[in-house]
Amino acid sequence: MLSTYALETQVIEPGLCTGCGACQGMCPYWGSCGGRTLRYFDCDRQDGRCQQFCPRMPTDLDALRRKFFSGTDILPEIGPFRGLYLTRAADASIRAEAQHGGTMTALVALALQEGFIDAAALTRSRGGLDAEGVLAATAEEVRACSGSSFQIPPTLAVLNRALQEGRYRRIGVVGTPCKTLAVYKMKSMPLPENDNHADRIGMVFGLFCGWGLDWDGIRDLTGKYTQPGKLTHMDIPPSKYHSLELTADNKTVSVNLDEVTPLVRSGCRYCTDMTAEFSDISVGGARSTDGWEVDKGWNQVIVRSEKGAELLELARRKGILEFRDVPESGLEKLRRASVGKKRTGVRNLREKSGDGSLGYLQPSAALFREL
Protein backbone atom coordinates (compact mmCIF):
# COMPACT_ATOMS: atom_id res chain seq x y z
CA MET A 1 0.00 0.00 0.00
CA LEU A 2 1.12 3.55 -0.70
CA SER A 3 1.04 5.98 2.20
CA THR A 4 -1.63 8.64 2.44
CA TYR A 5 0.73 11.46 1.49
CA ALA A 6 2.84 9.55 -1.02
CA LEU A 7 2.55 12.26 -3.66
CA GLU A 8 3.50 14.92 -1.14
CA THR A 9 6.52 13.10 0.28
CA GLN A 10 7.77 11.19 -2.78
CA VAL A 11 7.02 13.64 -5.59
CA ILE A 12 6.25 17.22 -4.58
CA GLU A 13 8.62 17.76 -1.64
CA PRO A 14 11.64 16.23 -3.47
CA GLY A 15 10.98 18.49 -6.46
CA LEU A 16 9.97 15.74 -8.90
CA CYS A 17 6.50 17.04 -9.80
CA THR A 18 6.07 18.02 -13.45
CA GLY A 19 2.70 19.76 -13.06
CA CYS A 20 1.04 17.45 -15.60
CA GLY A 21 -2.34 17.36 -13.81
CA ALA A 22 -2.67 13.55 -13.66
CA CYS A 23 -3.60 13.80 -9.98
CA GLN A 24 -6.26 16.46 -10.59
CA GLY A 25 -9.82 16.63 -11.88
CA MET A 26 -10.97 13.47 -10.08
CA CYS A 27 -11.54 14.69 -6.53
CA PRO A 28 -11.39 17.98 -4.60
CA TYR A 29 -8.10 17.19 -2.85
CA TRP A 30 -5.61 18.17 -5.55
CA GLY A 31 -5.35 21.29 -7.70
CA SER A 32 -2.79 23.73 -9.04
CA CYS A 33 -1.92 27.41 -9.22
CA GLY A 34 0.69 29.03 -11.46
CA GLY A 35 2.12 25.69 -12.50
CA ARG A 36 2.44 24.40 -8.92
CA THR A 37 0.56 21.29 -7.77
CA LEU A 38 -1.25 21.82 -4.47
CA ARG A 39 -2.95 19.51 -1.97
CA TYR A 40 -6.00 21.39 -0.73
CA PHE A 41 -7.27 18.92 1.85
CA ASP A 42 -6.09 15.90 3.82
CA CYS A 43 -7.16 12.54 2.41
CA ASP A 44 -7.47 9.26 4.29
CA ARG A 45 -7.15 6.97 1.24
CA GLN A 46 -4.21 4.59 1.42
CA ASP A 47 -4.17 4.24 -2.37
CA GLY A 48 -5.82 6.08 -5.19
CA ARG A 49 -5.83 7.16 -8.80
CA CYS A 50 -3.74 10.27 -8.07
CA GLN A 51 -0.88 8.08 -6.86
CA GLN A 52 -1.28 5.41 -9.51
CA PHE A 53 -1.35 7.84 -12.45
CA CYS A 54 1.47 10.17 -11.39
CA PRO A 55 4.40 9.82 -13.84
CA ARG A 56 6.87 10.39 -11.01
CA MET A 57 5.64 7.55 -8.82
CA PRO A 58 7.54 4.25 -9.38
CA THR A 59 6.65 2.74 -12.75
CA ASP A 60 7.73 -0.51 -14.41
CA LEU A 61 8.31 1.05 -17.81
CA ASP A 62 9.27 -2.24 -19.43
CA ALA A 63 6.03 -3.92 -18.33
CA LEU A 64 4.03 -0.90 -19.52
CA ARG A 65 5.71 -1.07 -22.94
CA ARG A 66 5.02 -4.80 -23.27
CA LYS A 67 1.37 -4.21 -22.46
CA PHE A 68 0.79 -1.69 -25.25
CA PHE A 69 3.55 -2.09 -27.86
CA SER A 70 5.18 -4.86 -29.86
CA GLY A 71 8.56 -5.80 -28.39
CA THR A 72 10.10 -6.13 -31.87
CA ASP A 73 9.39 -2.45 -32.61
CA ILE A 74 11.30 -0.89 -29.70
CA LEU A 75 14.55 1.05 -30.05
CA PRO A 76 16.28 1.43 -26.65
CA GLU A 77 17.03 5.11 -27.19
CA ILE A 78 13.62 6.35 -28.37
CA GLY A 79 11.12 3.62 -27.48
CA PRO A 80 8.42 2.04 -29.68
CA PHE A 81 9.30 2.77 -33.30
CA ARG A 82 7.62 2.12 -36.66
CA GLY A 83 9.22 4.89 -38.66
CA LEU A 84 10.66 8.41 -38.72
CA TYR A 85 9.29 11.08 -41.07
CA LEU A 86 9.75 14.76 -41.90
CA THR A 87 6.40 16.45 -42.47
CA ARG A 88 4.52 19.73 -42.40
CA ALA A 89 0.89 20.78 -42.76
CA ALA A 90 -0.09 21.26 -46.40
CA ASP A 91 -2.35 24.14 -45.34
CA ALA A 92 -0.17 27.27 -45.23
CA SER A 93 -2.56 28.97 -42.81
CA ILE A 94 -1.98 26.17 -40.27
CA ARG A 95 1.77 26.50 -40.70
CA ALA A 96 1.58 30.25 -40.14
CA GLU A 97 0.05 29.72 -36.69
CA ALA A 98 2.13 26.71 -35.70
CA GLN A 99 5.29 26.29 -33.69
CA HIS A 100 7.10 24.62 -36.58
CA GLY A 101 5.43 22.80 -39.45
CA GLY A 102 1.94 22.51 -37.99
CA THR A 103 1.99 18.71 -38.19
CA MET A 104 0.42 18.17 -34.77
CA THR A 105 -2.45 20.57 -35.44
CA ALA A 106 -3.14 18.97 -38.82
CA LEU A 107 -3.04 15.43 -37.42
CA VAL A 108 -5.33 16.13 -34.45
CA ALA A 109 -7.83 17.92 -36.69
CA LEU A 110 -7.74 14.98 -39.12
CA ALA A 111 -8.21 12.50 -36.26
CA LEU A 112 -11.35 14.42 -35.25
CA GLN A 113 -12.65 14.53 -38.80
CA GLU A 114 -12.10 10.82 -39.43
CA GLY A 115 -13.46 9.54 -36.12
CA PHE A 116 -10.21 8.39 -34.52
CA ILE A 117 -11.24 10.68 -31.67
CA ASP A 118 -14.26 12.87 -30.92
CA ALA A 119 -12.49 15.39 -28.67
CA ALA A 120 -8.94 16.17 -27.59
CA ALA A 121 -7.29 17.44 -24.41
CA LEU A 122 -4.84 20.13 -25.53
CA THR A 123 -2.80 23.03 -24.24
CA ARG A 124 -3.67 26.59 -25.26
CA SER A 125 -1.48 29.59 -24.53
CA ARG A 126 -1.06 33.22 -25.50
CA GLY A 127 2.19 33.37 -27.39
CA GLY A 128 3.61 30.76 -25.04
CA LEU A 129 2.42 32.27 -21.74
CA ASP A 130 -0.58 31.68 -19.46
CA ALA A 131 -0.88 28.09 -20.68
CA GLU A 132 -4.05 26.18 -19.85
CA GLY A 133 -5.56 22.81 -20.58
CA VAL A 134 -8.64 22.80 -22.81
CA LEU A 135 -10.92 20.23 -24.40
CA ALA A 136 -11.33 20.74 -28.15
CA ALA A 137 -14.10 19.11 -30.19
CA THR A 138 -13.79 20.96 -33.51
CA ALA A 139 -11.00 21.69 -35.97
CA GLU A 140 -11.32 25.40 -35.16
CA GLU A 141 -10.82 24.70 -31.45
CA VAL A 142 -7.78 22.56 -32.27
CA ARG A 143 -6.27 25.34 -34.37
CA ALA A 144 -6.76 27.77 -31.49
CA CYS A 145 -4.23 25.65 -29.61
CA SER A 146 -1.50 25.97 -32.26
CA GLY A 147 1.93 26.95 -31.06
CA SER A 148 3.89 25.80 -28.03
CA SER A 149 4.49 26.89 -24.49
CA PHE A 150 7.40 26.10 -22.21
CA GLN A 151 5.03 26.37 -19.30
CA ILE A 152 3.54 22.98 -18.37
CA PRO A 153 -0.15 23.37 -17.43
CA PRO A 154 -2.17 20.57 -15.75
CA THR A 155 -3.81 19.50 -19.01
CA LEU A 156 -4.53 16.01 -17.69
CA ALA A 157 -6.97 17.49 -15.18
CA VAL A 158 -9.10 18.41 -18.21
CA LEU A 159 -8.78 14.84 -19.48
CA ASN A 160 -9.76 13.36 -16.11
CA ARG A 161 -12.89 15.48 -15.90
CA ALA A 162 -13.87 14.63 -19.47
CA LEU A 163 -13.40 10.90 -18.86
CA GLN A 164 -15.68 10.99 -15.85
CA GLU A 165 -18.35 13.14 -17.49
CA GLY A 166 -18.72 10.58 -20.26
CA ARG A 167 -19.84 12.98 -22.97
CA TYR A 168 -17.09 11.83 -25.36
CA ARG A 169 -16.22 8.20 -26.07
CA ARG A 170 -12.84 8.58 -27.81
CA ILE A 171 -10.78 11.37 -26.28
CA GLY A 172 -7.39 12.22 -27.73
CA VAL A 173 -4.56 13.65 -25.66
CA VAL A 174 -1.67 15.87 -26.76
CA GLY A 175 1.11 16.12 -24.24
CA THR A 176 4.74 16.21 -23.24
CA PRO A 177 6.49 12.95 -22.19
CA CYS A 178 5.44 13.18 -18.54
CA LYS A 179 1.81 13.61 -19.58
CA THR A 180 1.78 10.78 -22.11
CA LEU A 181 3.40 8.41 -19.61
CA ALA A 182 0.67 9.30 -17.11
CA VAL A 183 -1.98 8.61 -19.76
CA TYR A 184 -0.58 5.14 -20.41
CA LYS A 185 -0.58 4.47 -16.67
CA MET A 186 -4.27 5.39 -16.78
CA LYS A 187 -4.79 3.08 -19.76
CA SER A 188 -3.21 0.20 -17.81
CA MET A 189 -6.26 0.38 -15.48
CA PRO A 190 -4.32 -0.05 -12.20
CA LEU A 191 -7.43 0.26 -10.04
CA PRO A 192 -10.23 -1.69 -11.77
CA GLU A 193 -12.45 -1.41 -8.71
CA ASN A 194 -12.27 2.40 -9.11
CA ASP A 195 -12.58 2.75 -12.86
CA ASN A 196 -11.08 5.90 -14.33
CA HIS A 197 -12.85 5.23 -17.67
CA ALA A 198 -9.52 5.02 -19.50
CA ASP A 199 -11.18 2.95 -22.20
CA ARG A 200 -12.45 6.34 -23.44
CA ILE A 201 -8.92 7.46 -24.34
CA GLY A 202 -8.90 7.23 -28.12
CA MET A 203 -5.40 8.29 -29.16
CA VAL A 204 -2.24 9.74 -27.60
CA PHE A 205 -0.13 12.36 -29.40
CA GLY A 206 3.30 13.03 -27.90
CA LEU A 207 5.40 16.20 -28.05
CA PHE A 208 9.20 16.14 -28.03
CA CYS A 209 10.34 17.99 -24.92
CA GLY A 210 13.64 19.10 -23.43
CA TRP A 211 12.20 20.76 -20.33
CA GLY A 212 9.53 23.09 -19.02
CA LEU A 213 10.09 26.42 -17.28
CA ASP A 214 9.01 28.06 -14.05
CA TRP A 215 5.81 29.98 -14.77
CA ASP A 216 6.68 33.20 -12.95
CA GLY A 217 10.27 33.08 -14.13
CA ILE A 218 9.49 32.84 -17.86
CA ARG A 219 6.82 35.52 -17.54
CA ASP A 220 9.33 37.88 -15.93
CA LEU A 221 12.02 37.03 -18.47
CA THR A 222 9.82 37.63 -21.51
CA GLY A 223 8.68 40.88 -19.90
CA LYS A 224 12.28 42.13 -20.03
CA TYR A 225 12.38 41.80 -23.82
CA THR A 226 8.77 42.23 -24.99
CA GLN A 227 5.81 44.36 -24.00
CA PRO A 228 3.12 42.61 -21.91
CA GLY A 229 0.48 41.04 -24.12
CA LYS A 230 2.51 41.50 -27.30
CA LEU A 231 4.31 38.14 -27.30
CA THR A 232 3.09 35.91 -30.15
CA HIS A 233 5.69 33.15 -30.33
CA MET A 234 8.64 31.64 -28.50
CA ASP A 235 11.01 28.96 -29.68
CA ILE A 236 14.37 27.38 -28.94
CA PRO A 237 16.56 26.81 -32.04
CA PRO A 238 19.17 24.02 -32.23
CA SER A 239 21.77 23.98 -29.46
CA LYS A 240 24.46 25.78 -31.47
CA TYR A 241 22.38 28.98 -31.30
CA HIS A 242 22.21 28.80 -27.48
CA SER A 243 19.17 31.05 -27.42
CA LEU A 244 15.47 31.49 -26.80
CA GLU A 245 13.70 33.37 -29.59
CA LEU A 246 10.83 35.68 -28.65
CA THR A 247 8.57 37.18 -31.30
CA ALA A 248 6.39 40.24 -30.70
CA ASP A 249 5.10 42.87 -33.12
CA ASN A 250 6.62 40.81 -35.95
CA LYS A 251 10.09 41.29 -34.49
CA THR A 252 12.21 38.46 -33.06
CA VAL A 253 14.61 38.89 -30.15
CA SER A 254 17.20 36.28 -29.18
CA VAL A 255 17.73 35.73 -25.45
CA ASN A 256 20.90 33.98 -24.33
CA LEU A 257 20.04 30.54 -23.01
CA ASP A 258 22.11 31.25 -19.91
CA GLU A 259 19.19 33.42 -18.77
CA VAL A 260 16.72 30.62 -19.44
CA THR A 261 18.27 27.46 -18.00
CA PRO A 262 18.03 28.63 -14.35
CA LEU A 263 14.25 28.68 -14.89
CA VAL A 264 14.00 24.97 -15.78
CA ARG A 265 11.50 23.24 -13.51
CA SER A 266 13.09 21.02 -10.91
CA GLY A 267 11.01 18.00 -11.97
CA CYS A 268 12.24 18.27 -15.55
CA ARG A 269 15.84 17.72 -14.48
CA TYR A 270 14.97 14.12 -13.62
CA CYS A 271 13.17 13.23 -16.85
CA THR A 272 14.70 10.60 -19.17
CA ASP A 273 12.25 10.84 -22.07
CA MET A 274 12.79 13.39 -24.85
CA THR A 275 10.44 12.02 -27.52
CA ALA A 276 7.25 11.03 -25.61
CA GLU A 277 7.91 7.30 -25.93
CA PHE A 278 4.46 6.39 -24.63
CA SER A 279 2.23 7.63 -27.44
CA ASP A 280 0.72 6.55 -30.75
CA ILE A 281 2.66 9.20 -32.62
CA SER A 282 5.26 11.76 -31.50
CA VAL A 283 6.05 15.13 -33.08
CA GLY A 284 8.97 17.53 -32.65
CA GLY A 285 10.89 20.18 -34.52
CA ALA A 286 12.80 18.97 -37.58
CA ARG A 287 16.57 18.59 -37.58
CA SER A 288 18.32 18.05 -40.91
CA THR A 289 21.36 19.10 -42.93
CA ASP A 290 19.35 21.92 -44.53
CA GLY A 291 19.81 24.22 -41.55
CA TRP A 292 17.51 25.99 -39.11
CA GLU A 293 15.94 28.41 -41.58
CA VAL A 294 14.47 25.42 -43.44
CA ASP A 295 13.98 23.06 -40.51
CA LYS A 296 11.93 25.47 -38.41
CA GLY A 297 9.12 25.08 -40.95
CA TRP A 298 9.05 21.27 -40.62
CA ASN A 299 8.48 18.55 -38.03
CA GLN A 300 10.03 15.18 -37.39
CA VAL A 301 7.48 12.50 -36.59
CA ILE A 302 7.89 9.12 -34.91
CA VAL A 303 5.15 6.59 -35.55
CA ARG A 304 4.85 4.17 -32.62
CA SER A 305 1.61 2.21 -33.00
CA GLU A 306 -0.65 0.74 -35.66
CA LYS A 307 -3.17 3.50 -35.02
CA GLY A 308 -0.46 6.14 -35.42
CA ALA A 309 0.68 4.58 -38.68
CA GLU A 310 -2.90 4.49 -39.97
CA LEU A 311 -3.46 8.18 -39.20
CA LEU A 312 -0.17 9.30 -40.79
CA GLU A 313 -0.84 7.30 -43.96
CA LEU A 314 -4.32 8.78 -44.16
CA ALA A 315 -2.77 12.26 -43.86
CA ARG A 316 -0.49 11.38 -46.77
CA ARG A 317 -3.28 10.05 -48.97
CA LYS A 318 -5.56 13.01 -48.32
CA GLY A 319 -2.79 15.54 -48.84
CA ILE A 320 -3.13 16.86 -45.29
CA LEU A 321 0.64 16.63 -44.77
CA GLU A 322 3.60 17.22 -47.04
CA PHE A 323 6.58 14.88 -46.70
CA ARG A 324 10.34 15.28 -47.15
CA ASP A 325 12.98 12.57 -47.23
CA VAL A 326 14.61 11.94 -43.86
CA PRO A 327 18.39 12.39 -44.09
CA GLU A 328 20.45 9.23 -43.66
CA SER A 329 21.80 10.62 -40.41
CA GLY A 330 18.35 11.67 -39.12
CA LEU A 331 17.54 8.68 -37.00
CA GLU A 332 21.05 8.43 -35.55
CA LYS A 333 21.00 12.12 -34.55
CA LEU A 334 17.64 11.64 -32.86
CA ARG A 335 18.90 8.60 -30.99
CA ARG A 336 21.97 10.46 -29.75
CA ALA A 337 19.91 13.43 -28.57
CA SER A 338 17.49 11.15 -26.76
CA VAL A 339 20.32 9.26 -25.05
CA GLY A 340 21.76 12.59 -23.95
CA LYS A 341 18.59 13.44 -22.06
CA LYS A 342 18.42 9.95 -20.56
CA ARG A 343 21.98 10.24 -19.26
CA THR A 344 21.35 13.65 -17.75
CA GLY A 345 18.16 12.49 -16.02
CA VAL A 346 19.81 9.33 -14.68
CA ARG A 347 22.84 11.28 -13.42
CA ASN A 348 20.63 13.80 -11.65
CA LEU A 349 18.51 11.06 -10.06
CA ARG A 350 21.59 9.25 -8.80
CA GLU A 351 22.95 12.46 -7.30
CA LYS A 352 19.61 13.27 -5.66
CA SER A 353 19.23 9.82 -4.11
CA GLY A 354 22.63 9.98 -2.41
CA ASP A 355 23.07 6.24 -2.77
CA GLY A 356 23.20 5.99 -6.57
CA SER A 357 19.65 4.63 -6.92
CA LEU A 358 17.26 5.80 -9.63
CA GLY A 359 14.34 6.88 -7.49
CA TYR A 360 11.05 6.57 -9.36
CA LEU A 361 12.86 4.71 -12.18
CA GLN A 362 14.12 2.01 -9.82
CA PRO A 363 11.56 -0.60 -11.00
CA SER A 364 12.95 -0.05 -14.50
CA ALA A 365 16.64 0.20 -13.61
CA ALA A 366 17.63 -2.43 -16.18
CA LEU A 367 16.56 -0.09 -18.99
CA PHE A 368 19.15 2.46 -17.84
CA ARG A 369 21.99 0.17 -16.76
CA GLU A 370 24.38 1.29 -19.51
CA LEU A 371 23.81 5.03 -19.06
The answer to whether 68 and 267 are in contact (CB under 8 A) is no
Return the SS3 of 170.
coil
pTM of the model: 0.96
Long-range contacts of 91-96 (CB under 8 A, 24+ apart): 91/320, 94/143, 94/146, 95/297
Look at residue 3 in the predicted model and tell me its pLDDT.
47
Q: pLDDT, tens digit, for every residue of 323-347? A: 999 999 999 999 999 999 999 999 9
Rounded to whole angstroms, the Cα distance separating 255 from 243 reads 5
Return the SS3 of 49.
helix
Rounded to whole angstroms, the Cα distance separating 346 from 312 reads 33
Look at residue 292 in the predicted model and tell me its pLDDT.
87
Look at residue 239 in the predicted model and tell me its pLDDT.
87
Look at residue 45 in the predicted model and tell me its pLDDT.
77
Show pLDDT as tens, one digit a residue, over the chain (371 residues).
Answer: 444 478 888 999 999 999 999 999 998 899 999 889 998 888 877 778 999 999 999 999 999 999 999 877 899 999 999 999 999 999 999 999 998 999 999 999 999 999 999 999 999 998 999 999 999 999 999 999 999 899 999 999 999 999 999 999 999 999 999 999 999 999 998 777 767 799 999 999 999 999 999 999 999 999 999 998 899 999 999 889 999 999 999 899 999 999 999 999 999 999 999 999 999 999 999 988 888 889 999 999 999 999 999 999 999 999 999 999 999 999 999 999 999 999 999 999 999 998 989 999 999 988 888 77
Look at residue 228 in the predicted model and tell me its pLDDT.
80
Rounded to whole angstroms, the Cα distance separating 101 from 88 reads 4
